[in-house]
Amino acid sequence: MPADRIPSKESAPDDRSSFMDSARRTTEVEPILTVHPKPGVAKPNPILTMDGLRRSFGGLTAVDIDHLEIERGIVTALIGPNGAGKTTLFNLITGFDRADRGRWEFNGQMVTSPSPDRLARRGMVRTFQLTKSLAKLSVLQNMLLGAPHQIGEQLWAAPFRPLWRNQEQANTERADELLEQFNLAHMRDELAGTLSGGQRKLLEMARALMSDPALVMLDEPMAGVNPALAQSLLGHITELALSGVTVVYIEHDMDVVSGISDWVVVLAQGQVIAEGGPWKVIHDEVVIDAYLGRRRAGTSS
Amino acid sequence: MDFDIIFGNAARAAFGPEAIILALAAIGLNIHFGFTGLLNFGQVGFIMLGAYGTSVAVATFGWSLWVGIPIGLFLALALAVALGIPTLRLHAVMFAIVTIAAAEIIRILIGSTDAIGLTGGPLSVSFDAGAFFDLNPYADGPQDRYGVGTFAFTGQQMWVITVGWLLVALVSFGVFLIIRSPWGRVLKSIREDQDAARSLGKNVFSYKMQALMIGGVIGGMAGVIDAIKTSGADPNGFRPQVTFYTYTALLLGGTATYLGPVLGAILFWFLREWIESFLRQLAAEAWLPGAIADFLEGSEGIISVGMVGLALVLLMLFRPQGITGNRIEMQLDAR
Ligand SMILES: Nc1ncnc2c1ncn2[C@@H]1O[C@H](COP(=O)(O)OP(=O)(O)O)[C@@H](O)[C@H]1O
Ligand SMILES: [Mg+2]
């Protein structure tokens, strides 16, 4: 269990400029900057590739994506107005909802029978727009649930503590580190139900990291979080990418996005209408139109 | 009115075989409902298969009791698999409906006249539990009594009680061991939010199935004790209310606790028998108007069950976590 997956608070860059200068900029992010910013464009090293993904509810097409790639090792923001299909897209990819049609590939492997738990075990973990912290379990127990490959989670081994005591110990140490980083250490033994909304978002994110995932998908991690906590959440997201984890997060506020995203994908009415570097996208006329609720360019009524 | 007799009767019920059977049934149900959140409304089905599996193996097929017991437990396990595979993926309410229906269907089939050759049908089945009572270390003469006043058991009863409570202790300890483990932690996460468990890589179906099987086999053990105690089984003993009594005991004692189901079963039988004895004595009091005495006469059992139900309602209102439950955990439910 690598303890240094996420740099601790002290070593993390705490202002944007030093972050911009960090090594990651050249090794991971520079290739993406050369990608031509247009919807569905191919990327140098994608971790997730979607094709013809479609999901409709009755007459409403919630998601309809021709082609979309998510670059490995960077922070991608998925933005779009309310009801654009962002959460539905997350649900499809992570196996919580069934697509009407379409295929996607994760980490070089086609996802054939999408089951949420199997995908999670393959390294794709998500959080939920409405947090799913387990209220009646302690904060620490929540964290321990996130740990992968637990011997003690198998029935035959469960009654025999010596078989799983050491692993549990190691997982607890890892959990304590993460709780420390996410400023939740003081709540360690409290029931998760006693946390504030923002703390629950932090807990859910920290819990997702227990498995050392390859791809973390965060659904509106900043929503309902007070500004001080939101700031530290943003910090955690950049730190994650620094440690090599791919992050995709949903946000509908465009202003939050520019600070921490390496790449931005804009969804409107289920379709990718723009993607590119944050500054480019945010000043894109099509995007501004979508946000202002105007008819999209080129579509007739 | 002799309160010694009333308390004696109540204590005898609270520690007798009926309480053991209820305790085992409730321990099993606690794994389903308490720890995993499975709404099993057919716990009686598992008890019934445990009892009939044992009885039929010995009475109809003439096998040894020591073969019959595993057969009873195996049938309970098989019921868990048969119920679980089609329904555990469905909504919790579907599962509840299927369990209650399945238990009734099994009871009707067992009790049908077509099944007379196999199960005794409506006539019930009886067998010789000698293999069990041969091991009885208690002197079992017609005069031998263990206890004081009406709180006393025969030698045979003592043997059932000794083995039964030992089994309850062993099973409770086993449940403690698996529930405090990471495996038990996954069950609790499923109880609270299946999707959260899935998002953390847990195979929810598999865990629910394991829980259903373990709780079902423990329910089967209740049936085995029942069969041995009565040297047989009767279809009328396995009506749906058995499941509801089991829920009552579990809720009285406290769901999702280790000792709750056991304490609840003891308390259930104590209260029920105390009220029934009390009413029986009351009906015999000379000063009671004839109409009331006539009403009480013979309906003590029904009234006492009603009173236990009332106690449960009051408990849910004023102490919803049961006797042993945790109040703070309970309040988090309201969110
Ligand atoms: N389970 C569902 N049933 C019917 N409509 C749904 C369902 N889930 C989402 N939708 C609809 O699909 C559209 C996209 O929703 P969603 O993905 O939640 O948007 P976003 O997360 O971008 O705000 C919305 O119009 C929403 O009403
Ligand atoms: Mg959403």
Contact (CB, 8 A) for A273 and A37: no
Report pLDDT digits (tens) over A23-64. Answer: 454 556 667 777 777 888 888 889 999 999 999 999 899 999
Report pLDDT digits (tens) over A263-282. Answer: 999 999 999 998 988 888 88
> What does the angle CA B38 – CA A154 – CA A151 come to, to the nearest 5 degrees?
140
A85 lines ligand 1 (CB under 6 A): yes
Tokens of A177: 């580190």
Q: Regarding predicted confidence, which is higher, B214 or A114?
A: B214
- How confident is the model at residue A27, as a pLDDT? 57
Report pLDDT digits (tens) over B244-290. Answer: 999 999 999 999 999 999 999 999 999 999 988 888 888 777 777 77
Pairing of strands B232-233, B125-126: antiparallel
Map tokens 């469960």 to a residue: A158
Neighbours of B173 (CB within 10 A): 11
- How confident is the model at residue A8, as a pLDDT? 42
The CA distance from B132 to B55, in Å, is 13
Report pLDDT digits (tens) over B161-199. Answer: 999 999 999 999 999 999 999 999 999 999 999 999 999
What mean pLDDT, rounded, does chain B reach?
A: 91
Q: How many domains does chain A have?
A: 2
Neighbours of B302 (CB within 10 A): 11
The CA distance from A276 to A297, in Å, is 18
Give the relative orientation of helices A197-209 and A227-242 as an angle to the nearest 10 degrees: 10
**Between the CA of residue B163 and those of A301, B20, B21, B191, B221, what are the distances in Å?**
80, 10, 12, 33, 12
**Using the beta-carbon criterion (under 8 Å), do A117 and B201 form an inter-chain contact?**
yes
> A201 CB near a chain B CB, below 8 Å?
no
Q: Of B183, B185, B200, which has the smallest distance from its Cβ to A120's Cβ?
A: B200
Contact (CB, 8 A) for B14 and B161: no
The residue length of chain B stands at 335
| Chain B residue at shortest CA distance from A213 | B200
Residue whose C-alpha is closest to residue A28's, from A74, A62, A59: A74
Residues B141-150, mean pLDDT to the nearest whole number: 87
A18 and A156 in a single domain? The answer is no
Would residue A248 count as lying in a domain?
A: yes
A166 and A241 in a single domain? The answer is no
Q: Provide the domain limits for residue A218.
A: 3-132+212-292
**pLDDT classification of A148: cutoffs 50, 70, 90:** very high
Would residue A260 count as lying in a domain?
A: yes
The answer to whether residue A19 scores a pLDDT higher than 60 is no
The answer to whether residue B293 scores a pLDDT higher than 50 is yes
Report pLDDT digits (tens) over A219-265. Answer: 998 887 888 888 888 888 888 888 889 999 998 777 778 888 999 99
- How confident is the model at residue B307, as a pLDDT? 82
Contact (CB, 8 A) for B166 and B186: no
Residue whose C-alpha is closest to residue B12's, from B266, B216, B192: B266
- How confident is the model at residue A231, as a pLDDT? 82
How many beta-carbon pairs under 8 angstroms link A with B? Answer: 106
Helix (H) or strand (E) holding A79: strand A75-79
**pLDDT classification of B330: cutoffs 50, 70, 90:** low
| Chain A residue at shortest CA distance from B187 | A153
- How confident is the model at residue A5, as a pLDDT? 44
A169 and A231 in a single domain? The answer is no
Residues B12-31, mean pLDDT to the nearest whole number: 97
Contact (CB, 8 A) for B218 and B24: yes
Would residue A219 count as lying in a domain?
A: yes
CB neighbour class for B236 (10 Å; exposed up to 12, middle 13-18, buried from 19)? exposed
| Coil/strand/helix, residue A217 | strand
Would residue A108 count as lying in a domain?
A: yes
The answer to whether residue A103 scores a pLDDT higher than 60 is yes
End-to-end CA distance of chain B: 49
- How confident is the model at residue B2, as a pLDDT? 85
A59 and A165 in a single domain? The answer is no
Would residue A98 count as lying in a domain?
A: yes
In chain A, residues with a C-beta closer than 8 Å to the C-beta of B195 are 96, 116, 128, 132
The answer to whether residue A206 scores a pLDDT higher than 90 is yes
Tokens of A46: 């994608």
**Between the CA of residue A251 and those of A86, A177, A258, what are the distances in Å?**
9, 27, 11
The answer to whether residue B107 scores a pLDDT higher than 70 is yes
Contact (CB, 8 A) for B219 and B78: no
The CA distance from B238 to B123, in Å, is 14
C-alpha atoms less than 13 angstroms from C-alpha of B243 in its C-beta half-sphere: 21
The answer to whether residue B1 scores a pLDDT higher than 80 is no
Would residue A37 count as lying in a domain?
A: yes
The residue length of chain A stands at 301
| Chain A residue at shortest CA distance from B191 | A134
Ligand 2 centroid to Cα of residue A55, in Å, is 15
- How confident is the model at residue B10, as a pLDDT? 94
| Ligand 1 site-directed mutation target among A61, A78, A79, A88, most atoms within 8 Å of CB | A88
Single-letter amino acid code for the residue at A67: H
Looking up residue A260, the CATH number of its domain turns out to be 3.40.50.300
The answer to whether residue B25 scores a pLDDT higher than 60 is yes
Map tokens 């075990």 to a residue: A121
- How confident is the model at residue B140, as a pLDDT? 87
Single-letter amino acid code for the residue at A115: S
Would residue A204 count as lying in a domain?
A: no
Residues A139-154, mean pLDDT to the nearest whole number: 96
Residue whose C-alpha is closest to residue B25's, from B218, B237, B211, B176: B218
Ligand 2 centroid to Cα of residue A208, in Å, is 19
Ligand 2 centroid to Cα of residue B198, in Å, is 19
Calculate what percentage of chain B has a pLDDT beyond 70.
97
A225 and A98 in a single domain? The answer is yes
> A298 CB near a chain B CB, below 8 Å?
no
Map tokens 């727009």 to a residue: A129
Q: Å from A196 to nearest chain B CA?
A: 12
Q: Regarding predicted confidence, which is higher, B332 or B136?
A: B136
- How confident is the model at residue B318, as a pLDDT? 81
Q: Of B181, B328, B333, which has the smallest distance from its Cβ to A158's Cβ?
A: B181
A29 and A157 in a single domain? The answer is no
Residues B228-234, mean pLDDT to the nearest whole number: 95
The CA distance from A163 to B331, in Å, is 35
- How confident is the model at residue A15, as a pLDDT? 40
The CA distance from B164 to B168, in Å, is 6
**Between the CA of residue B278 and those of A93, B7, B19, B89, B172, what are the distances in Å?**
65, 9, 19, 48, 32
The CA distance from A252 to A11, in Å, is 30
Single-letter amino acid code for the residue at A282: I
- How confident is the model at residue A112, as a pLDDT? 83
Composition of chain B by helix, strand, coil, percent to 5: 75, 5, 20
A124 and A14 in a single domain? The answer is yes
Would residue A148 count as lying in a domain?
A: yes
Strand order, beta sheet including A46-57: A60-71, A46-57, A101-106, A109-110
Map tokens 């705490």 to a residue: A14
The answer to whether residue A9 scores a pLDDT higher than 60 is no
Q: Which of A128, A129, A153 to mutate to test the interface with B (most CBs of B within 10 A)?
A: A153
The answer to whether residue A71 scores a pLDDT higher than 90 is yes
- How confident is the model at residue B249, as a pLDDT? 94
A82 lines ligand 1 (CB under 6 A): yes
Contact (CB, 8 A) for B195 and B16: no
**Using the beta-carbon criterion (under 8 Å), do A158 and B188 form an inter-chain contact?**
no
A17 and A80 in a single domain? The answer is yes
A96 and A241 in a single domain? The answer is yes
- How confident is the model at residue A293, as a pLDDT? 65
- How confident is the model at residue A147, as a pLDDT? 96
A95 and A151 in a single domain? The answer is no
> A158 CB near a chain B CB, below 8 Å?
yes
**pLDDT classification of B217: cutoffs 50, 70, 90:** very high
- How confident is the model at residue A54, as a pLDDT? 94
Q: Regarding predicted confidence, which is higher, A108 or B45?
A: B45
A83 and A221 in a single domain? The answer is yes
Tokens of A9: 């608070």
Give the relative orientation of helices B65-87 and B204-230 as an angle to the nearest 10 degrees: 150
Torsion of CA A92, A94, A96, A102, to 10 degrees: 30
- Diameter over CA atoms, chain A: 68
Single-letter amino acid code for the residue at A276: G
Q: Of B181, B202, B332, which has the smallest distance from its Cβ to A135's Cβ?
A: B332
User: Tell me, what DSSP letter sits at residue A191?
Assistant: B
Q: Which ipTM score applies to this complex? A: 0.87
Contact (CB, 8 A) for A195 and A187: yes
Residues B17-37, mean pLDDT to the nearest whole number: 97
The answer to whether residue B51 scores a pLDDT higher than 80 is yes
Q: Of A121, A136, A144, which has the smallest distance from its Cβ to B201's Cβ?
A: A121
**Using the beta-carbon criterion (under 8 Å), do B332 and A161 form an inter-chain contact?**
no
> All domains of chain B, ordered by start, with CATH?
3-330 (1.10.3470)
Torsion of CA B55, B59, B65, B67, to 10 degrees: -90
A115 and A176 in a single domain? The answer is no
The CA distance from B238 to B269, in Å, is 17
